């Protein structure tokens, strides 16, 4: 009856715990992708660069995409953190909305385009609609709904239009500047767009 | 003193006039690109398919891109014609704006995506910002300004915001659905977006 104990006990000599190794692989992979690009790198290249065996990496990630997804999720998490801090830094809902547009675009530009080589991860993520991207979009939409709800309570925003209709439409307006695949075709307008679009959106919200 | 006459007189045995040959090349090239794609086709392939010599084609077009630009200009002209007909078919400015969004997206989807193989012409056009694309964008913006001006005259639209600011912002809202490079990443929302976005824009324009 003690067999189960023997198989589940990791024992004292097991070495670094799993999440530490995963982190180590992700850090090294991010650096490698940054230098050589995501598309061109194979798991063998990564293994060589990190000094692990390919088999050892496969113990922690089932594919290169699984590593890419984690890096992408980290990037999107940074954008979300930036946006949330900017939104929380002011009280009035109209100003929250302005900041959401402005910081979202700036943060997205910075993260994906300062590191041009990391861009193809973002491109794959957006093309194939990775889970991390879907989750990010949902959280941004939830943040947007919160701002709208607050603005309706303070009577700064109109209440006639159904909340989800308003939120969806506003998300469609900002989406081209938060999605890296779309953003790359909107560089010409990326400087002015946040203020022009948030002005338009705020006019549409006036009671 | 009659030398100039001799060099400029085309003479009676000159054969088809230039624009007829150009049209013939464009029609054949469109068909060829539709079947085999734009990127993969060379001017030699085209010449063989049409039954002209390569040198003869170069007499009329300086490069494959020059042919592609004309095909692209024709496509954009069709979209513009569709949009103009839809806008002219109704009287009230708000309805004109709705139709501009709806028909613009539908026409763009149909033209560029029914012919998947012609898509890479559109992609090159939008990536390299060909002259035809710039001219198209300007004409759509001018159409938008006209609608806004009319709506201000009939007092259906607000007049406080500078006209060009309003027009630019509305163009930014619709642009992702009129630009083929952006549209390909917006298929999920392309059915509902025109009405959701025109509702939002019309709320922003209410006096």
CB distance from A148 to chain B under 8 Å? no
Domain contains A97: yes
> Across all residues in chain B, what is the average pLDDT?
85
Same domain? For B57 and B75 the reply is no
Band (A131; pLDDT cuts 50, 70, 90):
confident
Expressed as residue numbers, the domain containing B165 is: 70-205
Are both A128 and A176 inside the same structural domain?
Answer: yes
B179 contacts in A (CB within 8 Å)?
Answer: 185
What was the pLDDT predicted at A11? 41
- Average pLDDT of the residues in A92-102: 96
Query: Is B201 in contact with A197 (Cβ distance < 8 A)?
Result: no
Residues of A in contact with B201 (CB under 8 A): 200, 204
Residue contacts between A and B (CB atoms, under 8 Å): 73
Residue A101's pLDDT is: 95
Q: Which residue of B has its CA nearest to A128?
A: B185
Could you tell me if residue A7 is inside a domain?
no
Q: Which of residues 114-143 of B touch A (CB under 8 A)?
A: 126-127
Per-residue pLDDT of B18-71, as tens digits, reads 888 888 898 889 888 888 888 888 899 989 988 889 999 999 999 988 898 888
Q: Mark which of B62, B82, B99 sits at the end of a domain.
A: B62
Confidence of residue B5 (pLDDT cuts 50, 70, 90): very low
**Chain B residues inside the 8 Å CB shell of A165:** 196, 199
Structure tokens at B207: 């006096």
Mean pLDDT is lowest, of A140-144, A150-154, B94-98, B125-129, for B125-129
Mean pLDDT of A27-45: 86
Q: Are A126 and A165 in the same domain?
A: yes
A21: exposed, middle or buried (C-beta count within 10 Å: 0-12, 13-18, 19+)?
middle
What's the average model confidence in pLDDT over B169-176? 94
Q: What pLDDT does B123 receive?
A: 73
Nearest CB to A169; choose among B165, B179, B200: B200
**Is residue A8 assigned to a domain?**
no
Number of domains composing chain A: 2
Interface test with B, best of A128, A164, A178, A182 (most B CBs within 10 A): A182
CB B202, CB B148: distance < 8 Å: no
ipTM at complex level = 0.81
Residues of chain A with pLDDT > 70, as a percent, come to 89
Task: Summarize pLDDT for B111-122 with one digit per residue, the tens.
Answer: 766 666 677 777
Of all residues in chain A, the one with the smallest CA distance to B192 is A169
Those residues whose C-beta lies under 8 Å from the C-beta of residue A92, and which sit 6 or more positions away, are: A154, A156
Shared domain check, A76 and A49 = no
Q: How many residues are present in chain B?
A: 207
List, as one string, the DSSP characters of chain B: --HHHHHH---TT--S-HHHHHHHHHHHHHHHHHHH-STT--HHHHHHHHT--HHHHHHH-SSHHHHHHHHHHHHHHHHHHHHHHHHHT--SHHHHHHHHHHHHHHHHHHHHHHSGGGHHHHHHHHHTT-HHHHHHHHHHHHHHHHHHHHHHHTTSS--SS-HHHHHHHHHHHHHHHHSHHHHTT-HHHHTTHHHHHHHHHHHHH--
| pLDDT of res. B15 | 60
CATH code (residue A44) = 1.10.10.60
pLDDT on residue B50: 84
Is residue B4 one of the residues assigned to a domain?
A: no
Q: Which chain A positions have a beta carbon within 8 Å of B186's beta carbon?
A: 175, 182
Which residue from B minimizes the CA distance to A196?
B169
């Amino acid at each position: 009856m003690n067999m189960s104990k023997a198989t589940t006990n990791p024992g004292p000599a097991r070495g670094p715990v799993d999440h530490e190794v995963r982190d180590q692989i992700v850090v090294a992979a991010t650096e490698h992708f940054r230098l050589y690009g995501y598309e061109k790198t194979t798991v063998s290249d990564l293994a060589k660069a990190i000094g692990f065996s390919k088999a050892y990496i496969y113990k922690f990630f089932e594919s290169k995409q699984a590593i890419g997804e984690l890096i992408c999720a980290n990037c999107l998490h940074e954008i979300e953190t930036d946006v949330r801090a900017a939104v929380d830094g002011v009280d009035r809902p109209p100003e929250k909305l302005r900041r959401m547009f402005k910081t979202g675009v700036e943060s997205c530009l910075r993260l994906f385009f300062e590191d041009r080589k990391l861009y193809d991860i973002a491109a794959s993520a957006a093309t194939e609609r990775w889970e991390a991207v879907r989750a990010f979009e949902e959280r941004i939409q939830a943040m947007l709904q919160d701002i709208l709800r607050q603005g309706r309570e303070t009577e700064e925003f109109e209440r006639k239009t159904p909340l989800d209709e308003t939120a969806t439409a506003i998300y469609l307006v900002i989406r081209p500047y938060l999605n890296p695949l779309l953003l790359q075709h909107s560089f010409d307008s990326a400087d002015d767009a946040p203020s022009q679009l948030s002005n338009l959106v705020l006019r549409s919200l006036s009671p």
